[in-house]
Amino acid sequence: MEIKDIKEALKNNQLSASPISITELSEIMKYVEPHMYIDSETLDYFYSIPIKEIAESSMPSEMLEELNAQGWSVSKDGENIIVYITKPTSTNKH
């Protein structure tokens, strides 16, 4: 997979929050290691993966469709794909 293919596949996604599941994340982790960060302005958590790492991995190109559906988008600098994590809804009624 080439860097331009990755950017092309995700170019229409806007920066957003996604309820990405552990199952989806573990599928991604078969190929690359997402890094979790905190946005210093909003204090929201987000995952980031360097596009170069994806291009160099054995990730199948079909997985770009899944990343697209999960809400991953290209960062402003064009070096990473990122997705913000939605806050879990609490089902605990204590």
- Which residue type sits at 53? E
pLDDT tens per residue, range 31-48:
999 999 999 988 999 999
Question: How buried is 7 (Cβ within 10 angstroms: 0-12 exposed, 13-18 middle, 19+ buried)?
Answer: middle
**Beta-carbon contacts of residue 27 (< 8 Å; ≥ 6 apart):** 63, 66
What pLDDT, on the 0 to 100 scale, is given for residue 6?
94
Can you give the residue ranges of every domain in the chain?
A: 3-85
Residues 54 and 31 sit within 8 Å (Cβ to Cβ): yes
Instruction: Please count the CA atoms within 13 angstroms of the CA of 71 that sit on its side-chain side.
Output: 15
Q: Which residue has the higher pLDDT, 14 or 53?
A: 53
Confidence of residue 87 (pLDDT cuts 50, 70, 90): low
